[in-house]
Structure 1
Amino acid sequence: MKLRIEISYKTPKGTETNFVSDEMTADTALLISDDLRRTGRIKNMIFLDDYDSSWTLKELKKYVEEVETEPHNIFVYFDGGFDIETKKSGLGCVVFYEKNGKAFRHRKNRLVNSLDTNNEAEYAALHLGIQELENLGVHHMPVMIIGDSQVVINQLNGEWPCMEKTLNGWADRIEDKMKEMGITPEYELVSRKQNQEADHLASQALKEIEITSTIEVNDEKRN
């Protein structure tokens, strides 16, 4: 969850004004709010989320404590591959997340025979990633979705229209599932090199090598 801090500030001589901060994570908001309160000059402070709902300091602290025991700080990498000769598709996704003070990497791939194009395979790979989020118990969280498919990323973030009926169906399915789970997505388009782990999983699926794994990792491994 991203937040803005809104404060009413009062100088020693009694002059008052209001400030609203840039967006930041809940953890950062708590750190900054503690520092601001030490000045003794904050008359009032509230926290505003992406939906302009307000949070008190007590409510925010409780939220952060509860989130710590659930998957959070989530990044989903996805990639789909399509073999024209065999009409088979390989789907790959990698989910990085934190839970109970530890960082994890979850990998999953799948071979499917029911798709017709590479773009459809890309959408199906992201759908697989969303399914894995559900399996991990992710709900009501912001999620960064990362891929090298210009079609999928630009259509889902609203920059490109989705005119093909089949792809539009996949987009609706993904967006409906995220809404059901309370996921707030952010999208990032990267190069194929930056997406090579998901790409490798998709290639392994086409070779009928099945991968499902979850391991603890260092934060640096996501980069």
Structure 2
Amino acid sequence: MKIRIEIQYHIPKGLKTVLNTAFMSIEHAISLAEDLMKINRIKELTFFDSNESSWTLKEMKKYVESLKEEPYDVCLYFDGGFDHETWQSGLGCVIYYKQNEASYRIRKNALVDQLTSNNEAEYAALHFGLKQLEEMGVHHLPVTIKGDSKVVINQLTDEWPCLEETLSQWIDRIELLTDKLGVEPIYEVISRKKNQEADHLATQALREIEISSRSEG
């Protein structure tokens, strides 16, 4: 989550002005606020996120402490593959996150039927990954979502139109789930080379090799 600071600044002769910073990480915002509070002309600091929700410095510190108990700094990689011969789809997702000041990685895949194309498998893989976030208890956080499917990401960000009813239904499912979790998805198209881990999981699923693991580091 990115934060900006609104500063109530009192200048000589009783004049007042309001200053606003650019958006920055929570950690940087708190450090800056603590340094600014040393200036006796600053009367009030307020933190704002991109949704214009506001916090005091004390509230923001308390929020950061609460994050240590829950998953944060979440990054989800997804990939889906469709086998035209068997009409089965392999779904793979990798989730990197932090919790209690430690770093973790979840790897999971699934073999599913009833999908009809590779693009649909890609959408299903993203939805599968989001369901894992739901099970982890991820909520009300920005989540970076990376995949090599330009179709999926460009359609979800409205860069490309979606003219297929089946894919449009997957968009609805994904948006409904992100709204339910309260997460802010930050979509990023990456190369297949950078998505090898999720791709390998999807391929293993098509070979009926089930993977479900959580590791630290």
The answer to whether 1:72 aligns with 2:72 is yes
| Paired position in structure 2 for 1:3 | 3
| Paired position in structure 1 for 2:192 | 192
The residue type equivalent to 2:167 in the other structure is L
**Residue aligned with 2:94, SS:** strand
The residue type equivalent to 2:39 in the other structure is T
The answer to whether 1:154 aligns with 2:136 is no
**Residue aligned with 2:80, SS:** strand
Deviations along 1:96-150, one digit per CA (max 9) or x if unpaired, are 1100000100010011121110000000000110010011111111111110100
| Paired position in structure 1 for 2:126 | 126
Counterpart CA distance in 2 for 1:141 and 1:49 is 11
Counterpart CA distance in 1 for 2:40 and 2:12 is 10
The residue type equivalent to 1:38 in the other structure is K
Q: 1:60-99 alignment to 2 at 5 Å?
A: 60-99=60-99
Q: 1:1-223 alignment to 2 at 5 Å?
A: 1-11=1-11, 16-217=16-217
Unpaired runs of 5+ residues, structure 1, are 218-223
**CA-CA distance at 1:15 after TM superposition:** 6.0
The residue type equivalent to 2:174 in the other structure is I
* Runs of 4+ that moved beyond 3 A: 10-17
The residue type equivalent to 1:122 in the other structure is E
- Normalising by the residue count of structure 1, what TM-score does the alignment of the two structures yield? 0.92
Unpaired runs of 5+ residues, structure 2, are none
The residue type equivalent to 2:32 in the other structure is I
**CA-CA distance at 1:10 after TM superposition:** 3.8
Q: Relative to structure 2, which stretch is displaced further, 37-46 or 149-158? A: 37-46
The residue type equivalent to 2:202 in the other structure is A
**C-alpha RMSD of matched pairs (Å):** 1.4
Deviations along 1:42-61, one digit per CA (max 9) or x if unpaired, are 22211111111221112111
The residue type equivalent to 1:153 in the other structure is I
- Normalising by the residue count of structure 2, what TM-score does the alignment of the two structures yield? 0.95
Deviations along 1:65-99, one digit per CA (max 9) or x if unpaired, are 11110001100000001111221111000001100
Deviations along 1:136-191, one digit per CA (max 9) or x if unpaired, are 11111111111010011011112112111000111100110111111111111111
**Residue aligned with 2:107, SS:** strand
The residue type equivalent to 2:171 in the other structure is A
**CA-CA distance at 1:11 after TM superposition:** 4.8
Deviations along 1:165-223, one digit per CA (max 9) or x if unpaired, are 00011110011011111111111111111111101111111111110000001xxxxxx
**CA-CA distance at 1:14 after TM superposition:** 6.3
Counterpart CA distance in 2 for 1:4 and 1:53 is 11
The residue type equivalent to 1:147 in the other structure is G
